[in-house]
Amino acid sequence: MKMNSFSVGCPSGVTGIGVVRNRVVRTVVACVVFGCLQSAATVRASYPVVERLQPMGVCAGTETKLTFHGQRLGDTYDVVSDDPRIEIVDVTAVDGKKADVTLKVAESVSPGLYPLRLVTKTGVANLRLLSVGHLPVVAEEEPNSRPDQAQSVPINHTIEGVVDTEDVDLFNVDVAAGQRLRVEVEGIRLAFSLRNQNILDPYVAILDSEGIEVASSDDSALLQQDGLCTYTPDQAGTYTVMIRDSSFRGSRVSGYRLHIGDFPRPMAIFPAGGQPGSVLQAQWIDVDGSVHEDQFQLPSLADDHHRLWVKTDKGISPSPNTVRVNDLPVHVEAEPNDDIRKAPEFTLPAAFCGAVDKDNDFDCFSFQCKKGRRYRVEVFARHALRSSLDAVLNVFGPDNRTIQSSDDVAGRMDPSLEFAAKEDGKHTIRIYDHLRLGTPTHQYRVEVVEATAEVNLTLKELRRDEATPALVPAGGHGAIMVTAARTNYGGPIGIDIPSLPDGVTATTFDVPAGRGEIPVLLSAKAGTDPICQPISLTGIAKDPKALNVGSRFVQTHKLVLGQNRRHMWATDTPHALCAVVEPTPFEIELVQPKTPIVRQGSANLVVRVKRNDGFKEQIALRTLYNPPGVGVNNSRRIAGDKSEALIPITANSRAATGQWPMILMATFTAPGGSQVIATNAIDLQVENEYFKYAFPKAATEQGKSMTYAVNVEVLREFDDEAEIELVGLPNGVTSPKAVQPLTKDSTVVNFPLEIAADAKVGKHRTLVCVARLKRSGEVITQTTGTGELRIDKPMVAAPAKKPEKPAAKKTAEPKPLSRLEQLRQKRQEMK
């Protein structure tokens, strides 16, 4: 059989968690700490949402009208395609829930999923994937749930249909003896659900004439929760293809595209990559297990997720396989290599390609390492290549003892690690399957290089689970948060955005050392027309000692969330979208403070609004982010009849000192729903505190006076007018001199206190000192506590005791006489 294989060198990205192609606020008196509302938990703005496409796919080489169904689509004017071969011919907004888009797909576009993003004058909708196929399309016709109702379709066609609740769709196909019948479904890969609803988890099967399943598939390593299966009959006949939801769920919008034919369906391409510009001499393993020799022309530039299609005289694979293209020399595994002590030795850097092709198989590779140098080992299998392998990685030192191991990393099933060589000599890596399973499709690519410094950038989600577009109103500002993840580099990072839409400028700030995020302010000139285009961000190492620090930008688009909001299907793109949207009916300014905020201090930010005539809506304010240790009251609003608001902020005792950019986001109600814009950026200066206090533990009684002495240590010199106030006094306690001056020579401040007779008794740990320094017409406030004052009830003296008179002595009663004494006494009387 003559085979014609090729690769298409369009920009690539990631499909399916795999690969796809792309185009303490504290008040002074009460010391109440407010919750700091971060930008990810903001008021939800009303942006356009695309819920489904109808139809879900098109044929290459045709012009097709698609209907985008969703919410807030009434001002749609454009659709952005990442592939220039998908031409947007016409865009028409039908109403708030529909927009018609005519597009022309070049014949050279290979089968697969291609991202589209609808753009309105007020926002950018969520990314949706368009299926492009090379087979004629047949629409499903109901009823087709019973064998006698099965819909007859020709082989080598694509069926587009819907699986409703407890629905089963049956299709009859005539197959010749010895003809391979392949079935591949696009179900969850075409879905969009962030609420675990209306999700199609397809189950496909091939049934013989007796209704017996001869092949079936639920999930697959290559296609994740979309299945594929194959059957080659010995006898010609009519066979039935069945599709349903694996749990019999489904819904009226749970659509699918079912590819039925005898096309090639490679499960793996081996080796999984090569060097730029080279011809890859490879084998591809078909879904039926057959192995075929082939060659592929690789692109001239490196591509981490290069897509390849296999084409034969039977057709082309309905979806691509993925390989890696970079400068690393490729070494193909050769058995036997199970023993770490006898592993073949290679020179670094290198890429090792192989397969754990049988149960209990171990593959080992060794190489020389230099003491003190760091090495990075990355496995590409389940995540990047959609391999069947759930890899486990071990690294052994020259003494064959384990240095480090890795299984899953960062939510991915592919392991990776870095290690520092403790001595010169041969080091060995070993790879095997987590369950000790093995097949020819358990393939992998392991890349081993000396560890380099790298910065990975992305945009922080400002709405939960939704990729952030950069929206800029004409004549105003928009803002995004850039997140930076460093590898082997800890210094500051500059941000560069090389290509912005016409009329848009960016104000960037460096990501400080030790920090992971920073805002970017985007501004558009007044009168700029609505426009949308991709942008990418570059991280620049600002440490002059750091050399060759690489930079990458990736944005993840979550498409389907399952239980516990875990994403079941997502797509990565190497860019974000920046769009100029309609101007807002007001101008907003965040006033630059003239004075810093100090640790343990508080201040008010001033926001001013200049309204257009007739605009009387309330404007809610929140921070885009908070500098480290700075709390902001995000509950403030500017009422419809007001033009200014004060935003209380505080800095705790560990607030990061230095200059920090701050931007507020303003949410308001527009005709199409709530909208969000940004203020200008200010530089918030955070400084160390000026004073340190030693509070005594004092005690007194109701109805008395006392002096409360606070020891003061001046930490920083100042020439400004300053004062200190003792606040937080218990009920019934006052001070005639609660506010006293402070100088740079102050060491103690004595506050006279008057304790009322009915002052509250007990221990009061509420005393706080508020220092204020007046500078440039503003006040720097430092609030420090807490002191303790114990109030007791007065001691009451007991009444004096009167001396007691001595008791009179009682005459002793006569002692009774005995009988003898009585006789003697009687005789005496007789004389």
Query: Does some domain include residue 802?
Result: no
Per-residue pLDDT averaged across 648-657, rounded?
96
List the structure tokens of 194.
Answer: 């962030």
Q: Is residue 9 within 8 Å of residue 299, measured between CB atoms?
A: yes
Judge whether residue 8 has pLDDT over 70.
no
For residues 147 and 129, membership in a common domain is answered with no
Measuring CA to CA, which residue among 66, 137, 133 is closest to residue 103?
Answer: 66
**Burial (Cβ within 10 Å: 0-12, 13-18, ≥19) of residue 657:** middle
Average pLDDT along the chain: 91
The 10 Å Cβ neighbour count of residue 8 is 18
Q: Is residue 535 within 8 Å of residue 502, measured between CB atoms?
A: no
Do you find a cis peptide bond into 271, omega within 30 degrees of 0? yes
For residues 483 and 369, membership in a common domain is answered with no
Output the domain CATH number for residue 751: 2.60.40.10
Judge whether residue 151 has pLDDT over 70.
yes
List the structure tokens of 171.
Answer: 């299709």
pLDDT band at 31 (very low <50, low <70, confident <90, very high): very low
3-state secondary structure of 702: coil
List the structure tokens of 440.
Answer: 């020819």
Judge whether residue 546 has pLDDT over 50.
yes
Query: Does some domain include residue 371?
Result: yes
3-state secondary structure of 148: helix
pLDDT at 800 (0 to 100): 62
pLDDT at 426 (0 to 100): 97
pLDDT at 412 (0 to 100): 83
Query: Does some domain include residue 825?
Result: no
- Each residue's pLDDT tens digit, 335-381: 999 999 999 999 999 999 999 999 999 999 999 999 999 999 999 99
Query: Does some domain include residue 351?
Result: yes
pLDDT at 477 (0 to 100): 98
Of 325, 357, 374, which residue sits at a domain end?
Answer: 325
pLDDT band at 198 (very low <50, low <70, confident <90, very high): confident
3-state secondary structure of 824: helix
Residue 653 identity:
S
For residues 683 and 695, membership in a common domain is answered with no
For residues 340 and 437, membership in a common domain is answered with yes
Q: Is residue 588 within 8 Å of residue 647, measured between CB atoms?
A: no
- Each residue's pLDDT tens digit, 600-641: 999 999 999 999 999 999 999 999 999 999 999 999 999 999
Return the biggest CA–CA distance within the chain.
Answer: 174
Which residue carries 């009585």 as its tokens? Answer: 822
Per-residue pLDDT averaged across 431-453, rounded?
96
Distance CA 200, CA 215 (A): 20
pLDDT at 810 (0 to 100): 60
Per-residue pLDDT averaged across 809-817, rounded?
63
- Each residue's pLDDT tens digit, 318-339: 999 999 999 999 999 999 999 9
Q: Report percent pLDDT > 90 for the chain.
A: 85
Dump the DSSP string for 543-568.
Answer: -TT--S-EEEE-EEEEEEE-GGG-EE
pLDDT band at 9 (very low <50, low <70, confident <90, very high): very low
List the structure tokens of 214.
Answer: 């001869």
Give the distance from CA 420 to its chain's centroid. 30
For residues 736 and 770, membership in a common domain is answered with yes
Distance CA 298, CA 274 (A): 7
**Burial (Cβ within 10 Å: 0-12, 13-18, ≥19) of residue 443:** buried
How is residue 320 annotated by DSSP? -
pLDDT at 64 (0 to 100): 97
Which distant-in-sequence residues (6+ apart) come within 8 Å of 29 by Cβ? 727, 728
For residues 467 and 528, membership in a common domain is answered with yes
Of 89, 107, 133, which residue sits at a domain end?
Answer: 133
Output the domain CATH number for residue 546: 2.60.40
Query: Of all helices (H) and strands (E), which one includes residue 92?
Result: strand 86-95
Q: Could you list the residue range(s) of the whole structural domain that residue 656 is in?
A: 586-687
Do you find a cis peptide bond into 794, omega within 30 degrees of 0? no
β strands within 434-530, DSSP E? 443-450, 454-459, 470-473, 477-487, 493-496, 504-507, 517-524
For residues 531 and 593, membership in a common domain is answered with no
Distance CA 66, CA 78 (A): 13
Of 234, 261, 288, which residue sits at a domain end?
Answer: 261
Distance CA 417, CA 451 (A): 10
3-state secondary structure of 340: helix
Judge whether residue 644 has pLDDT over 90.
yes
pLDDT at 670 (0 to 100): 86
Domain count, the chain: 7
Query: Does some domain include residue 5?
Result: no
Per-residue pLDDT averaged across 232-249, rounded?
96
Distance CA 521, CA 681 (A): 7
For residues 649 and 761, membership in a common domain is answered with no
Q: Report percent pLDDT > 70 for the chain.
A: 92
Q: φ and ψ at 341, to 5 degrees? A: -75, -20
For residues 490 and 596, membership in a common domain is answered with no
pTM: 0.87
Measuring CA to CA, which residue among 529, 3, 597 is closest to residue 315?
Answer: 3
For residues 321 and 376, membership in a common domain is answered with no
For residues 301 and 215, membership in a common domain is answered with no
Output the domain CATH number for residue 193: 2.60.120.380
Q: CA quadruple 567, 570, 572, 575: dihedral positive or negative?
A: negative
Rounded (10°) CA dihedral 666, 670, 673, 674: 10
Which distant-in-sequence residues (6+ apart) come within 8 Å of 217 by Cβ? 183, 203, 204, 205, 227, 228, 229
Which distant-in-sequence residues (6+ apart) come within 8 Å of 823 by Cβ? none
Query: Does some domain include residue 814?
Result: no
- Each residue's pLDDT tens digit, 297-311: 999 999 999 999 999
Query: Does some domain include residue 9?
Result: no
Query: Does some domain include residue 6?
Result: no
The residue count of the chain comes to: 831
The 10 Å Cβ neighbour count of residue 580 is 28
For residues 659 and 695, membership in a common domain is answered with no
